[in-house]
Structure 1
Amino acid sequence: MCDSINHTSEQIEDLVVEPCLEINEFEETAPKASFNGLVKDAPRANTSVVNGLSQQLIYQINLIVPDALVSFDDLDVELGSAAYPFVPPAAKQALQEAIERRGKRLVVNSAYRTLAQQMLLYNGRFNNPNPVAAPGTSNHQSGLALDIEDRQGWLPFLEGSGWHPLAGDPPHLDYRGQGAKDLRRETILAFQQLWNKNHPNEKIGEDGRWGPKTESCLNRSPAMGFEKAPWDEKPRILRLCRPLMEGSDVRKLQQKLKDAGFAISVADGVFGSEADKAVKEFQQRNSLVADGIVGAKTRELMA
């Protein structure tokens, strides 16, 4: 059951400084929808091809450590095509204050990078002369990393907030302030828990360690996410965001809206503009705030 070759907590001082500029450029190639196959077979043109699995992993982390990662996509930011806008609450507050002080939009090319995304980059490392960290060891799996444009211009506004530049990596910042928690162990643990939930006859150790068994299982995981999702027991709030939310819960929502006569062309499990419009129309008909956010009240009326 044990799968350990390295414990992430032992690697804090031994990070691989990845070529963030090159990785950001790679991520900005044409984004694709989730790949309907296994991670090991997924095209490596853009790590958004594992969006379905990535969203399950992020949700599972927040089940392990409640509110460990919160979205900052409601701030004045422009996000890269495969950037997951998640940081700790205190780190988000620091970003908000910096944006308000500068009065300018913050361009974020990368933030939290899921284990599945890192696996794709790692699988392609032999075709890349630059170093790529093994899954679970990159500081982008810590939940405390950002790659931004115009870092030098932003540093005076971030000074004293807990965000610090990383030497030798021009776009990169790490948050070391109040509420900082390195989530690299939880990043791996989240995958191990999801794998075991879906493979009761092929369980792996839930130790938060990266090793050959975890690597093999991740490569054999569906890029679109597992059948048994982490939100099955505790529903997540659905809304229009970037990257687009997708999964079994979105597909069920779309089908309910479609059955109720709303304009849903296909229940593809992706919460796009069509679903957002239909949800707002449903909310208006039921005297709810038409914000497109599917929370407890909207979900209850749809039951």
Structure 2
Amino acid sequence: MVLVKEITAGSTIAVRGLDLQLFWQLNQLAPNSLVTIADLNINKGDGLFPYCQLPARNALKSVLTAYGKPLTINSAYRSVIAQAMLYSQKQRGLIDNLVGYPGKSDHQKGASLDIEEWPEVRTLMTSHGWRWTYGNKDAMHFDCTSDDIRDIRPDSIKAFQKLWNKANPNNQIAEDGDLGEQTLKCIYNSPSEGFSNVGYPRVLKLTTPSQQGKDVGELQLALRKAGIPLEQANQVFDQETDKAVKAFQESKGLSADGVVGQQTRTLLELN
């Protein structure tokens, strides 16, 4: 299990498992706050979580129609968890990017985009409802100017607080939507792959120390049911389980990376 505070890789994909659990919790608290942009004519940058608010999606779609070519989106919605991870790395000197304080970042509104081709499309973006907010200090960053954009950052923080309380019944925190010192400390001490006991699936994979829990046991039983040799269902994601997952993924024509994400879960009927 790798905690958020222990991550040294700069990409927010390192917390994607926990991010997905927060996303599901946010949808319980404030349904339809975010919509996907994955179906638009975009190239997805490393670590992109392809969601934003609906007005931002519409403004992006307008730009894409006028541009006539794909745009590379490096960042869209960024959760308070991902922002805290980046801010911690900035504080430790691991990255030198412009990083806002967790809970204050524009990206957490789901109304900001980082666009690789910004020199080509800056004028086009600003004429289709976007602001080039920070100039050359953060040149690829654009903010949607629609009056219909809602500040969902408190909802996202409250969603994390609810998620933490589900996973830690003996260590409860206030569910007030305020990113105080206690909530930030809990974010840093959360497992990057997600909690094993909250009812929302986490991303399962081989880690050091190994992931353990009922969800790992259910994965092992599903692999057996699918005809993949596995000696024991011991609720520990060990080397044998990793080998079995890769064998299953290969048999289904998937990338055999050993990571049990949504597609692998669906094919194993784990949903």
Q: Does 1:46 align with 2:11?
A: yes
Aligned to 1:190: 159
Aligned to 1:154: 121
Aligned to 1:207: 176
Alpha-carbon distance in structure 2 between the residues aligned to 1:273 and 1:170: 44
Aligned to 2:102: 135
106-115 or 157-166, which moves further after superposition? 157-166
Alpha-carbon distance in structure 2 between the residues aligned to 1:164 and 1:250: 45
Give per-residue Cα distances to partners, 1:92-127, cap 9 Å, x unaligned. Answer: 232223213321011111111222222222212231
Contact 1:57 1:190 (C-alpha < 8 Å) held by counterparts: yes
SS of match in other structure, 2:18: helix
Change (3 A) 1:171 1:266: farther
Change (3 A) 1:131 1:156: closer
Q: 1:84 aligns with which of 35, 41, 49?
A: 49
Alpha-carbon distance in structure 2 between the residues aligned to 1:230 and 1:160: 44
Alpha-carbon distance in structure 1 between the residues aligned to 2:195 and 2:270: 25
Change (3 A) 1:63 1:212: same
Change (3 A) 1:83 1:255: farther
* Letter in structure 2 aligned against 1:185: P
SS of match in other structure, 1:147: strand
Contact 1:161 1:177 (C-alpha < 8 Å) held by counterparts: no
Q: 2:112 aligns with which of 142, 145, 156?
A: 145
Alpha-carbon distance in structure 2 between the residues aligned to 1:261 and 1:140: 44
Alpha-carbon distance in structure 2 between the residues aligned to 1:155 and 1:88: 21
Aligned to 1:108: 73
208-217 or 54-63, which moves further after superposition? 54-63
Aligned pair count? Answer: 239
Q: Does 1:259 align with 2:225?
A: yes
Contact 2:76 2:113 (C-alpha < 8 Å) held by counterparts: yes
Change (3 A) 1:137 1:274: farther
Q: Does 1:164 align with 2:92?
A: no
SS of match in other structure, 1:210: coil
* Structure 1 vs Structure 2 CA RMSD: 3.7
- Using the aligned pairs only, state the percent identity: 34
TM-score, normalization by structure 1: 0.66
* Letter in structure 2 aligned against 1:143: G
Alpha-carbon distance in structure 1 between the residues aligned to 2:183 and 2:126: 39
Aligned to 2:210: none
Q: Does 1:122 align with 2:87?
A: yes
SS of match in other structure, 2:24: helix
Alpha-carbon distance in structure 1 between the residues aligned to 2:122 and 2:250: 36
Alpha-carbon distance in structure 1 between the residues aligned to 2:250 and 2:171: 39
List gaps (5 residues or longer) in structure 2.
202-213, 231-238, 255-262
Change (3 A) 1:249 1:82: farther
C-alpha displacement of 1:302:
7.9
SS of match in other structure, 1:124: helix
Q: Does 1:65 align with 2:30?
A: yes
